[in-house]
């Protein structure tokens, strides 16, 4: 759509050369034909280096917008981004796309539903009541058990196993809230990308990204009843035990082990080869590799054990 149309939708002043906008993206990833947004001063560095054609911005940050970028000045940039996200949401299904491509040797249950535009590799097994959304891609030798849903545009690698009732690519839990307490949905226009040799248990939710991709990298093992939030990245060969999960935009290095009922806050970075005992609550970045943690507030496991001993003595 035209940038002038976007300015009209957001009710902001229009006094710039009109350009065609093809999508929305994060500041650091946006290209000249995309619009981005900024709502917080901690992203000033990203504003100054963005390649976006236009940025939705509050008046307090407009001075940081580069000269080659159009500033769409609004009162609440997060709310305005939520409004605009609906206009760039792709259709849930698209009957105009060609029929699904099924690789040689793949066995598809007659009770499964494969949407137009999707591609399934060789020697896959797709069981009853599975739904594969439009333009989804499934690699070779992958097994998908009954009642799994793979939403549109999501990619699953080769040699994967996904167990029953798991949802890949549902909308992330994203919304803007107004000063009056009203909520506006942020349409999740990214996808999920799952690497090769990944096994995911039953009743798992892996949410699609707002922009870009939620990534589950090669060799990851995810137990039953796990939640992976939007825009997360799970490093190679990491392990999530049952009832654990991560809030959005947290990035785990490779071989991270997450014990049962442990949880990550959003926007964290976790060093490779970190281990978290059951019921750990992780609210800060972990920068040093190879350590084991426990508890909430989180502490190194050895210290947590000493603390439990001292507490037990106090109770005698």
Residues involved in catalysis:
230
The CA distance from 160 to 287, in Å, is: 30
Terminal CA-to-CA distance of the chain, rounded, Å? Answer: 71
Q: Would you state the structure tokens that stand for residue 177, as one six-digit string?
A: 């809230």
What order do you get walking across the sheet with 263-264 strand by strand? 113-114, 131-132, 149-150, 167-170, 205-207, 227-228, 245-246, 263-264, 281-282
Mapped onto helix, strand or coil, the DSSP state of residue 39 is coil
Strand order in 191-194's β-sheet?
101-102, 119-120, 137-138, 155-156, 191-194, 213-216, 233-234, 251-252, 269-270
Cα torsion 103, 105, 106, 111: sign: positive
* Crossing angle (nearest 10°) for helices 77-85 and 3-10: 120
- How do strand 143-144 and strand 125-126 relate by DSSP bridges? parallel
């Amino acid at each position: 759509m035209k940038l002038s149309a976007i300015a009209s939708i957001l009710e902001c002043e229009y006094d710039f050369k009109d350009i065609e906008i093809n999508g929305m993206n994060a500041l650091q990833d946006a290209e000249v034909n995309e619009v981005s947004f900024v709502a917080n001063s901690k992203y000033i560095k990203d504003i100054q280096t963005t390649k976006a054609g236009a940025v939705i911005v509050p008046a307090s940050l407009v001075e940081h917008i580069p000269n080659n970028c159009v500033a769409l000045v609004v009162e609440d940039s997060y709310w305005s981004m939520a409004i605009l996200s609906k206009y760039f949401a792709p259709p849930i299904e698209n009957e105009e796309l060609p029929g699904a491509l099924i690789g040689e040797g793949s066995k598809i249950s007659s009770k499964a539903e494969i949407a137009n535009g999707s591609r399934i590799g060789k020697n896959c097994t797709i069981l009853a009541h599975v739904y594969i959304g439009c333009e989804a891609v499934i690699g070779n030798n992958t097994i998908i058990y009954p009642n799994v849903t793979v939403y549109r545009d999501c990619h699953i690698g080769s040699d994967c196993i996904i167990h029953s009732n798991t949802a890949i690519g549902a909308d992330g839990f994203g919304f803007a809230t107004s000063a009056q307490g009203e909520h506006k949905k942020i349409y999740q226009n990214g996808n999920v990308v799952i690497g090769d040799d990944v096994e995911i248990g039953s009743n798992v939710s892996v949410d699609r990204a707002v922009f870009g991709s939620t990534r589950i990298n090669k060799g990851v093992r995810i137990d039953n009843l796990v939640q992976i939030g939007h825009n997360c990245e799970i490093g190679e060969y990491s392990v999530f035990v049952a009832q654990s999960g991560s809030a959005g935009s947290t990035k785990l290095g490779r071989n991270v082990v997450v014990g049962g009922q442990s949880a990550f806050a959003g926007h964290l970075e976790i060093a490779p080869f970190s281990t978290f005992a059951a019921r750990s609550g992780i609210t800060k970045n972990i920068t040093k590799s190879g350590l084991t943690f426990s508890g909430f507030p989180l502490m190194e496991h050895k210290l947590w054990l000493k603390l439990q001993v001292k507490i037990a003595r106090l109770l005698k």
